[in-house]
């Protein structure tokens, strides 16, 4: 292991002086200071920023929770007016879900994943940065509504018609819809790049079945984000269109259906629970083997459980809707599916148990939090199975029983493992150890406070106390239980304050940690503590699942530059691109450096968001164009652009740079993005067919308003363009680039033909989008097609220009293959749109 | 049969997701088909469970169970022929196919006992 | 400060604050209550409570066992084992606890649970049950009896139902989504604009139940309470008969002393409120039998002398955000005469 890998280090060179190598790498990777710190794209810095920001939002959400418990401490309290109370409960749920739980765990994954899989950064560093800024700006916009006393007040689930302009005329709902959609850009971008990073940038030899379990969990979480968030984004766009323009998607009189919102919301909302739970369970699966001092038993079982959970969680959404009057047989499907998810969860619990059973477990501070997790989560899981039973659900749905269950699952299933993980990784963040005393106090106060608050709340719910009431009258038997809940909640916040104090103090006063203080097995502990901007001086070849247990000398050897890619003379940020299955090296991935473009693009998007809120639509339009220009400018600095890789030479024997191959990570990023896009598109089709078949007052004209001829002409233009592009890409694969620029320009022209004809079809259809949901939803479908067609045309146009600049060609054939994926997607979806919107209504009739 | 199974590359990790994707597809087909059937041609409540809707849903479920069970057996056999990474892939796939098969069985049970559109 | 005179649903007061022993408190006084799921008054609710206690018992056993095993794993002495033994032990745990346990549990649960759900379904019966329509408004309840002999009967914020027989509730929402839920009788069902949902409930014997909107419906979701009373069949028939429109028409016209109040009603109230014989249905609750109800403002305050006047004067303070405009522009004397008259509207 410790010998130099001759195949990949520069020939004949002995490792350079490690000191100098560090300095050289730091020169390339290091973070700038001052204002330029805003350009940082490094995953370590951005991961920390995500987590710190997440903690700030956690404090805001926690404060709101304390306000709620204060109000409910005694019957008939008048501490907050009903109006304010409703804003507070809505924002508590929204902040905790969207601004704390998801970004916090994403931040942890962003920080941890490259270090665990032996990479130097995530695969799209600028995307990490864009994600962070979108999260920050979106979060600020959303929470600012609280200051204005204009916060959303229809509940964090925003059910229509309550959230519609008729029943919520103020800006609250708009803050929610626009702010959350903005924040979701961040979740999606992190989701995409985590998937690609895990699949394509693991260090040499780390085959899929040797990956740390945490990476499996994050892979599942990221894929679930990619598939699960788009339905809500679609729902938010539709609802905002209804509020702003009056398109009646959810309004019965206009042919819409409020239940469509519930489907779209919970299509996202249920997977969301597992998106939060899986990474937390990943922390548990990482910590337990370390503290048991043995490998996890049943690695394969855990992988099985992760994949099962990920999939089944998409088949459960209707269990949030058992009382909307869906036929009982359909409810029974979802009831059964909801119970099925108990199987993978139980498997994990017993894998953990067996690992402890067969190991020599030690009750260190992180393990204390894991025990807390176990107790609370098992309890929440059991009530979860109960809630899956339809008749029981009908009784306790929307009571405090559900509030209790949900907090057991989310706080138990996410917060406790998170704190365990943070305590575990603190020495890595800071190089110092936390205080055991303060930590134990913090744990016990939090644990007892939590159970005091929420265990009792089950009972309050069974006594009939509904959710989301701002007060209750005395004499229902609820008084004492509410008082106990409220008192315990303050104990819990004292505990959490103590934990945060411990975190804050340890950076200054903590004992310096020795290297790998918990004797862990995974690669992140081969970093220096705190880690450098480039993580590893040299990238190792991995043979086992437990590199640090099997070779304790590995960290030293890596830091001494005895492994691969220990060169910095070329001035580029680089790491391995490996095969997703076997972990064999395929190419060298070169990464972009710090950049202003993500910040600028996010700022432009923030202007879009604010101007939509304030109904300044022309400004919003201008800002959209500016944001698009920033993003395109960003994409310009790719591939063979001198800023992307100043020096394209590689050491003899090394594979070439990814931009000089046909299979870089960008191809994967585009595929995963199209997966998200496809999920959005399927949600749209679901909406169309749902309204068509189920909506109570659906009205469809006798003949379709869309010109079939026009649409087919547009589709043919698009298809021909796609065909030419495929041919050009095949040529590039064989090193031929004759006529590349002309080809790209003509494809672009065909793309613009499709856009023009589609636009003509749309305009000549004379849609009454504010009258019927039928016309409104057709409008959305065609707008989707126009947007995609336009993007495809512009990107091929830019490709043509890049050929002229010499950034693309036989020497750098990568980008056309990426653009071809988008075109393929556009061709398929456009034909589906033609079929669903124009052909089917003609065949079936209304 | 054997050649079909060979052509499916049952040691590829893509099979981690195919089984549950089929499960999801079955689930959506049954749920969606049921919703459409109840919207278009709901059978009379007096018929109880002996309706065309229940029968069709059962047929679809049996097809899904058949496919998934065959793939379970295929992956299980394939796992025995390999070692290391490929064995891991085939074993986990077999487990996931088995779970998907039983998942269909379990979630389809209500079709036998509940009238469709109430 | 809320100016509640006396709150409505206190017929079944139980003692608050028996914190001596929490467990004893839970078991002795805890289960009763107007809206308590644990104090069922109908078969559907009773089935659910039975299922709950069984699930609680079983869940507790599972919970205690799992946690005890985990804790024991920290305490037990080390044993050296061969890898083969380790694999066998691990597989036993995972298959036993991770597969057999949950599969057996959920199969049993589904087998018990599905039949219990059937009871709430509007399955065909030999004799068609009584139908009562309930319509949710922000933030009050409209209750209609379409099958009443001699024509439909309409009332608000009170639901009188026959005891000892199944009743089908057909529910919908007039504005946003609400949910109809009488906890002691059985499960809840959403009231959705544009749809009619059906649920079948049965009260064992005459009693009064609390009910409240269960789906968050805006500012006054909390104060959307419904008074539910199950009465014997003949009493129910008599109650309906007394509310036939003809009876009420005569009521609205009798008695000259309230003539000014009736005129004020026609000026200020009649565009929204119906009083049989005087005005037709509008956006607000039907007031035809207001004097006979037990509460005002969907459960805000008990109906007693002077209550209506008090409500008319202070309703935006008692129930902030409710859709009735404030009455600052109407003279106090007029409000008082209106209140006095409305209280006389009893069949």
Check A347 against C94: CB less than 8 A apart: yes
Closest-CA residue of C relative to A254 is C194
What pLDDT score does A16 carry?
Answer: 60
Closest-CA residue of A relative to B21 is A311
Strand duo C167-173 + C130-137: pairing? parallel
User: Is residue A398 a part of any domain in this protein?
Assistant: yes
With a cut of 90, say whether residue B37 has pLDDT above it.
Answer: no
In angstroms, the CA A681 to CA A787 distance is: 13
What pLDDT score does A796 carry?
Answer: 96
Domain final residue, candidates A480, A509, A538:
A509
Check C121 against B118: CB less than 8 A apart: yes
Check B106 against C107: CB less than 8 A apart: yes
| Band of pLDDT at residue C9, cut at 50, 70 and 90 | very low
What pLDDT score does C3 carry?
Answer: 35
Mutate to test the interface with A, among C29, C34, C192 (most CBs of A within 10 A): C192
Chain A contact present for C323, CB below 8 A: no
Q: Which two tokens stand for residue A409?
A: 């699952």
With a cut of 60, say whether residue A15 has pLDDT above it.
Answer: no
Q: Which two tokens stand for residue A356?
A: 């402890």
The rounded percent of chain A whose pLDDT value lies above 90 is 84
Check A311 against B115: CB less than 8 A apart: no
Check C114 against B114: CB less than 8 A apart: yes
| Cis amide bond preceding A161, omega within 30 | yes
C-alpha separations of A675 from A193, A234, A314, A668 in Å: 13, 15, 15, 10
What pLDDT score does C2 carry?
Answer: 36
| Band of pLDDT at residue C1, cut at 50, 70 and 90 | very low
Shortest CA gap B113–chain C (Å): 9
Shortest CA gap C26–chain B (Å): 36
How many Cβ atoms sit within 10 Å of the Cβ of residue A845?
10
CA C333 to chain centre: 36
**Locus of tokens 């890409």:** A729
What pLDDT score does A7 carry?
Answer: 38
Residue B4's Cβ-side half-sphere holds a number of Cα atoms within 13 Å equal to 6
What pLDDT score does B45 carry?
Answer: 79
User: Is residue A689 a part of any domain in this protein?
Assistant: no
Q: What is the mean pLDDT of residues A558-585?
A: 90
With a cut of 90, say whether residue C255 has pLDDT above it.
Answer: no
C-alpha separations of C153 from C157, C193, C237, C265 in Å: 14, 22, 11, 22
C-alpha separations of A492 from A436, A446, A489, C271 in Å: 18, 4, 5, 53
Strand duo C158-162 + C225-231: pairing? parallel
| CATH classification of the domain holding A373 | 1.20.210.10
**Lowest-pLDDT choice from A153-167, A761-775, B59-73, C26-40:** C26-40
| Helix pair angle (A213-244, A773-805), 10° resolution | 120
Shortest CA gap C324–chain A (Å): 15
Beta bridge partners of A585: A578
Mutate to test the interface with C, among A384, A392, A405, A447 (most CBs of C within 10 A): A392
| CB-based contact A731:A737 (threshold 8 Å) | yes
DSSP secondary structure letters along C187-216: --EEE-TT--EEEEE--SSSEEEEEE--S-
Check A349 against C66: CB less than 8 A apart: yes
Query: Which residue did the predictor score with more confidence, B1 or A678?
Result: A678
| C104-129 pLDDT, tens digit each | 998 888 887 777 777 667 777 788 89
C-alpha dihedral over A91, A95, A97, A101, to 10 degrees?
Answer: -160
| CB-based contact B100:A343 (threshold 8 Å) | no
Chain C residues 118-137 with a CB less than 8 Å from chain B: 118, 121-124
C-alpha separations of A17 from A158, A556, A559, C43 in Å: 60, 14, 11, 82
Q: Identify the H or E element spanning C232.
A: none
Shortest CA gap C187–chain A (Å): 4
Q: Which two tokens stand for residue A63?
A: 């404060």
| 3-class secondary structure, C159 | strand
Segments forming the whole domain that contains residue A255: 37-509
**Locus of tokens 């590039």:** A732
What pLDDT score does C297 carry?
Answer: 86
With a cut of 70, say whether residue A808 has pLDDT above it.
Answer: yes
| Band of pLDDT at residue B3, cut at 50, 70 and 90 | low
User: Is residue A658 a part of any domain in this protein?
Assistant: no
Identify all chain C residues contacting B115, using CB atoms and an 8 Å cutoff: 123
Closest-CA residue of C relative to A359 is C78
Of B106, B110, B118, the CB nearest to C123: B118
Closest-CA residue of A relative to B54 is A329
Q: What is the mean pLDDT of residues C51-66?
A: 93
User: Is residue A583 a part of any domain in this protein?
Assistant: no
E strands present in A425-546 = 432-433, 511-512
Q: Mention every residue, 6+ apart, whose C-beta is less than 8 A from residue C186.
A: A394, A395, C42, C44, C45, C48, C119, C120, C199, C201
| A721-776 pLDDT, tens digit each | 999 999 999 999 999 988 999 999 999 999 999 999 999 999 999 999 999 999 99
**Lowest-pLDDT choice from A74-88, A447-461, A564-578, A637-651:** A637-651
In angstroms, the CA C290 to CA C156 distance is: 8
What pLDDT score does A649 carry?
Answer: 82
What pLDDT score does B113 carry?
Answer: 82
User: Is residue A750 a part of any domain in this protein?
Assistant: yes
C-alpha dihedral over B7, B9, B10, B15, to 10 degrees?
Answer: -110
In angstroms, the CA A830 to CA A717 distance is: 11
What pLDDT score does A67 carry?
Answer: 97
Q: Among C293, C247, C285, which Cα is nearest to C269's? A: C285
Q: What is the mean pLDDT of residues C133-162?
A: 93
What pLDDT score does A841 carry?
Answer: 92
User: Is residue A547 a part of any domain in this protein?
Assistant: no
How many Cβ atoms sit within 10 Å of the Cβ of residue A509?
11
C-alpha separations of C95 from A284, A714, B100, C35, C87 in Å: 20, 57, 17, 42, 12
Domain final residue, candidates A509, A542, A565:
A509
With a cut of 80, say whether residue B52 has pLDDT above it.
Answer: yes
Of A300, A314, A340, the CB nearest to B24: A314
| Band of pLDDT at residue C251, cut at 50, 70 and 90 | low
Q: What is the mean pLDDT of residues C290-316?
A: 90
With a cut of 80, say whether residue A485 has pLDDT above it.
Answer: yes
| CB-based contact A545:A523 (threshold 8 Å) | no
Strand duo A585-591 + C158-162: pairing? unpaired
| A280-306 pLDDT, tens digit each | 999 999 999 999 999 999 999 999 999
Q: What is the mean pLDDT of residues A546-567?
A: 92
Check A301 against C98: CB less than 8 A apart: yes
What pLDDT score does B1 carry?
Answer: 54
Identify all chain B residues contacting C107, using CB atoms and an 8 Å cutoff: 106
What pLDDT score does C347 carry?
Answer: 81
| A398-426 pLDDT, tens digit each | 999 999 999 999 999 999 999 999 999 99
Shortest CA gap A689–chain B (Å): 10
In angstroms, the CA A11 to CA B60 distance is: 62
| A577-602 pLDDT, tens digit each | 999 999 999 999 999 999 999 999 99
Shortest CA gap B100–chain C (Å): 14
| Band of pLDDT at residue B2, cut at 50, 70 and 90 | low
Of C2, C66, C121, the CB nearest to A378: C66
In angstroms, the CA C275 to CA C248 distance is: 8
C-alpha separations of A670 from A204, A667, A817, B105 in Å: 24, 5, 10, 37
Chain C residues 52-111 with a CB less than 8 Å from chain A: 52, 55, 59, 62-63, 66-67, 69-71, 73-74, 76, 78, 81, 86-87, 89-91, 93-94, 96-99, 101-103, 105-106, 109-110
| Band of pLDDT at residue C260, cut at 50, 70 and 90 | confident
| CB-based contact A3:A86 (threshold 8 Å) | no
| A513-542 pLDDT, tens digit each | 999 999 999 999 999 999 999 999 999 999
What pLDDT score does B104 carry?
Answer: 93
User: Is residue A50 a part of any domain in this protein?
Assistant: yes
Shortest CA gap B31–chain C (Å): 18
Q: Identify the H or E element spanning A13.
A: none
C-alpha dihedral over A300, A302, A305, A306, to 10 degrees?
Answer: -110
Beta bridge partners of C144: C133, C154
Q: Residue A255 — φ and ψ, nearest 5°?
A: 90, 10
Check B110 against C122: CB less than 8 A apart: no
Q: Say whether pTM exceeds 0.80.
A: yes
The rounded percent of chain A whose pLDDT value lies above 70 is 98
Q: What is the mean pLDDT of residues A201-214?
A: 95
| CB-based contact B26:B61 (threshold 8 Å) | yes
| A592-641 pLDDT, tens digit each | 999 999 999 999 999 999 999 999 999 999 999 999 999 999 999 888 88
What's the total number of domains in chain A? 2
Q: Which two tokens stand for residue C285?
A: 């609750």
User: Is residue A722 a part of any domain in this protein?
Assistant: yes
DSSP secondary structure letters along B4-63: HHHHTTTTSTTHHHHHHHHHHHHHHHHHHHHHHHHHH-PPPGGGTT-SHHHHHHHHHHHH
* Interface of chain A toward chain B, CB-CB under 8 angstroms: 207-209, 300-301, 303-304, 307-308, 310-312, 314-315, 318, 327-330, 332-337, 339-340, 343, 581-582, 693-694
| CB-based contact A267:A683 (threshold 8 Å) | yes
| CATH classification of the domain holding A798 | 1.20.120.80
Mutate to test the interface with A, among B33, B103, B106, B109 (most CBs of A within 10 A): B103
Q: Which two tokens stand for residue A320?
A: 């949030």
| Band of pLDDT at residue A511, cut at 50, 70 and 90 | very high
| CB-based contact A90:A152 (threshold 8 Å) | yes
ipTM: 0.92
Burial of residue A437, with CB atoms counted within 10 A of its CB: 0-12 exposed, 13-18 middle, 19 or more buried: exposed
Write down which chains contact chain B via at least 3 CB pairs under 8 A.
Answer: A, C
| A333-361 pLDDT, tens digit each | 899 898 899 999 999 999 999 999 999 99
Identify all chain B residues contacting A338, using CB atoms and an 8 Å cutoff: none
DSSP secondary structure letters along A157-176: TT-TTTTSTTT--STHHHHH
Domain final residue, candidates A483, A509, A535:
A509
| Band of pLDDT at residue A662, cut at 50, 70 and 90 | confident
Closest-CA residue of A relative to B38 is A327
Burial of residue A581, with CB atoms counted within 10 A of its CB: 0-12 exposed, 13-18 middle, 19 or more buried: middle
What pLDDT score does A200 carry?
Answer: 95
Closest-CA residue of C relative to A162 is C176
Chain C contact present for A724, CB below 8 A: no
Q: What is the mean pLDDT of residues A201-229?
A: 96
Buried b (16+ CB within 10 A) or exposed e, A103-137: bbbbbbbbbbbbbbbbbbbbbbbbbbbbbbbbbbb
| Band of pLDDT at residue C14, cut at 50, 70 and 90 | very low
Helices (H) and strands (E) in chain A, counts: 27, 4
Shortest CA gap C111–chain B (Å): 9
For CA atoms C2, C4, C9, C14, give the dihedral sign: positive
In angstroms, the CA A399 to CA A383 distance is: 13
With a cut of 60, say whether residue C10 has pLDDT above it.
Answer: no
What pLDDT score does C8 carry?
Answer: 39
For CA atoms A748, A750, A752, A758, give the dihedral sign: negative
């Amino acid at each position: 292991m410790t010998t130099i890998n001759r195949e990949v280090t520069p020939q004949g060179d002995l490792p350079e002086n490690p000191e100098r190598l560090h300095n050289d790498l730091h020169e390339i990777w290091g973070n700038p200071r001052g204002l330029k710190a805003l350009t940082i794209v490094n995953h370590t810095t951005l991961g920390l920023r995500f987590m710190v920001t997440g903690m700030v939002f956690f404090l805001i959400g926690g404060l709101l929770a304390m306000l709620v418990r204060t109000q409910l401490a005694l019957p008939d309290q008048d501490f907050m007016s009903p109006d304010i109370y409703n804003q507070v409960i809505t924002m508590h749920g929204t902040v905790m879900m969207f601004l704390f739980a998801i970004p916090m765990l994403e931040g942890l994954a962003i920080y941890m994943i490259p270090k665990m899989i032996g990479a130097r950064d995530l695969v799209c560093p600028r995307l990490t940065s864009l994600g962070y800024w979108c999260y920050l700006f979106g979060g600020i916009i959303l929470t600012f509504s609280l200051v204005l006393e204009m916060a959303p007040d229809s509940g964090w689930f925003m059910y229509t018609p309550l959230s519609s302009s008729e029943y919520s005329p103020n800006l609250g709902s708009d803050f929610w819809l626009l702010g959350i959609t903005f924040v979701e850009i961040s979740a999606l971008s992190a989701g995409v790049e985590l998937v690609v990073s895990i699949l394509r940038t693991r260090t040499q030899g780390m085959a899929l079945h040797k990956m740390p379990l945490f990476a499996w969990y994050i892979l599942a979480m990221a894929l679930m984000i990619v598939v699960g968030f788009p339905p809500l984004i679609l729902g938010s766009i539709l609802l905002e269109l209804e509020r702003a323009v009056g398109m009646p998607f959810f309004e019965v009189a206009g042919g819409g259906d409020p239940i469509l919102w519930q489907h779209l919301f919970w299509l996202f909302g249920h997977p969301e629970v597992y998106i939060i739970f899986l990474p937390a369970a990943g922390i548990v699966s990482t910590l337990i083997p370390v503290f048991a001092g043995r490998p996890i038993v049943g690695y394969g079982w855990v992988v099985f459980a992760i994949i099962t959970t990920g999939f089944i969680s998409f088949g459960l959404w209707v269990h949030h809707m058992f009382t909307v009057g869906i036929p009982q047989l359909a409810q029974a499907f979802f009831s059964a599916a909801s119970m099925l998810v108990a199987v993978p969860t139980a498997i994990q619990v017993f894998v953990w148990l067996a690992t402890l059973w067969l190991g020599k477990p030690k009750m260190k501070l992180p393990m204390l939090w894991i025990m807390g997790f176990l107790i609370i989560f098992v309890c929440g899981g059991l009530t979860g199975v109960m809630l899956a039973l339809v008749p029981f659900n009908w009784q306790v749905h929307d009571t405090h029983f559900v509030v209790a269950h949900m907090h057991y699952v989310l706080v138990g299933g996410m917060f406790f493992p998170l704190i365990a993980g943070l305590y575990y990784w603190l020495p890595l963040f800071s190089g110092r150890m936390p205080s055991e005393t303060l930590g134990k106090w913090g744990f016990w106060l939090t644990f007892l406070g939590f159970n005091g608050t929420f265990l009792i709340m089950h009972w309050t719910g069974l006594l009939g106390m509904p959710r989301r009431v701002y007060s209750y009258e005395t004499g229902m038997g609820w008084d004492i239980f509410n008082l106990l809940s409220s008192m315990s909640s303050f104990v819990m916040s004292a505990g959490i304050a103590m934990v945060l104090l411990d975190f804050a103090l340890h950076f200054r006063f903590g004992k310096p940690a020795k290297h790998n203080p918990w004797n862990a097995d995974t690669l992140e502990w081969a970093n220096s503590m705190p880690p450098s901007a480039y993580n590893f001086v040299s990238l190792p070849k991995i043979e086992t699942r437990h590199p640090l247990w099997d070779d304790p000398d590995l960290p030293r050897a890596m830091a001494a530059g005895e492994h691969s890619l220990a060169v910095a003379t070329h001035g580029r940020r680089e790491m391995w691109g490996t095969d997703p299955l076997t972990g064999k090296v395929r190419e060298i991935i070169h990464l972009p450096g710090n950049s202003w473009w993500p910040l600028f693009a996010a700022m432009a998007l923030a202007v879009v968001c604010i101007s939509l809120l304030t109904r300044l639509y022309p400004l919003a339009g201008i800002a959209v164009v500016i944001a698009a220009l920033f993003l395109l400018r960003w994409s310009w600095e790719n591939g063979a652009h001198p800023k992307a890789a100043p020096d394209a030479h590689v050491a003899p024997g090394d594979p070439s740079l990814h931009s000089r191959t046909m299979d870089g990570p960008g191809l994967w990023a585009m595929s995963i993005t199209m997966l998200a896009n496809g999920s959005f598109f399927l949600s749209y089709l679901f909406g169309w067919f749902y309204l068509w078949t189920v909506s109570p007052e659906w009205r469809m004209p006798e003949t379709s308003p869309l010109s079939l001829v026009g649409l087919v002409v547009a589709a043919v233009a698009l298809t021909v363009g796609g065909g030419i592009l495929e041919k050009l890409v095949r040529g590039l694969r064989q090193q031929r680039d004759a006529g590349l620029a002309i080809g790209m320009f003509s494809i672009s022209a065909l793309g613009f033909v499709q856009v023009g004809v589609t636009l003509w079809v749309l305009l000549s259809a004379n849609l009454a989008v504010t009258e019927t949901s039928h016309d409104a939803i057709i409008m959305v479908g065609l707008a989707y097609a126009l947007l995609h067609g336009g993007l495809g045309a512009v990107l091929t146009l830019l490709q043509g220009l890049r050929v002229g600049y010499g950034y693309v060609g036989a020497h750098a054939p990568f980008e056309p293959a990426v653009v071809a994926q988008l075109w393929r997607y556009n061709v398929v979806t456009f034909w589906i749109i033609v079929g669903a919107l124009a052909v089917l209504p003609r065949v079936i009739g209304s | 049969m054997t050649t079909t199974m060979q052509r499916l590359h049952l040691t590829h990790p893509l099979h981690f997701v195919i089984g549950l994707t089929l499960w999801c597809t079955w689930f959506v087909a049954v749920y969606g088909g049921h919703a459409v059937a109840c919207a278009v041609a709901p059978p009379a409540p007096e018929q109880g469970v002996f309706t065309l809707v229940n029968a069709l849903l059962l047929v679809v479920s049996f097809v899904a169970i058949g496919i998934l069970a065959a793939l379970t057996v295929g992956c299980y056999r394939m796992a025995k022929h390999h070692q290391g990474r490929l064995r891991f892939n085939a074993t986990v796939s077999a487990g996931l196919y088995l779970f998907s098969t039983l998942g269909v069985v379990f979630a389809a049970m209500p079709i036998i006992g509940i009238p469709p559109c109430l | 400060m809320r100016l509640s005179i006396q709150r409505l649903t206190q017929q079944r007061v139980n003692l608050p604050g028996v914190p001596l022993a929490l467990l004893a408190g839970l078991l002795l006084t805890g289960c009763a209550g107007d809206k308590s799921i644990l104090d069922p008054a109908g078969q559907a609710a009773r089935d659910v409570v039975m299922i709950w206690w069984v699930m609680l018992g079983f869940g507790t056993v599972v919970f205690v066992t799992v946690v005890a095993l985990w804790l024991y794993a920290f305490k037990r002495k080390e044993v050296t084992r061969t890898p083969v033994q380790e694999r066998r032990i691990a597989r036993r745990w995972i298959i036993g606890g991770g597969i057999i346990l949950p599969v057996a549990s959920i199969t049993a649960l589904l087998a018990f649970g599905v039949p219990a759900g059937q009871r709430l379904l509007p399955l065909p019966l030999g004799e068609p049950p009584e139908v009562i329509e309930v319509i949710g408004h922000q933030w009050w309840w409209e209750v209609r009896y379409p099958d009443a002999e001699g024509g439909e009967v309409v009332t608000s914020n009170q639901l009188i139902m026959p005891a000892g027989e199944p009743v089908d509730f057909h529910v919908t929402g007039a504005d946003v989504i609400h949910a109809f839920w009488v906890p002691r009788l059985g499960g809840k069902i959403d009231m959705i604009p544009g749809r009619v949902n059906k649920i079948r409930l049965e009260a064992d014997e005459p009693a009064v139940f609390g009910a409240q909107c269960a789906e968050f419906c805006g500012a006054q979701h909390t104060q959307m309470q419904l008074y539910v009373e199950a009465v014997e069949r003949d009493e129910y028939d008599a109650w309906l008969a007394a509310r036939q429109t003809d009876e009420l028409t005569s009521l609205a016209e009798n008695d000259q002393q309230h003539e000014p109040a009736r005129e004020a009603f026609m000026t200020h109230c009649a565009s929204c409120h119906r009083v049989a014989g005087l005005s037709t249905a509008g956006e607000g609750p039907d007031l035809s039998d207001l004097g006979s109800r037990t509460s005002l403002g969907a459960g805000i305050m008990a109906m007693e002398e002077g209550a209506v006047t008090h409500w008319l004067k202070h309703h935006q303070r008692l129930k902030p955000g409710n859709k009735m405009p404030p009455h600052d522009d109407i003279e106090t004397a007029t409000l008082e005469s209106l209140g006095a008259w409305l209280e006389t509207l009893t069949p």
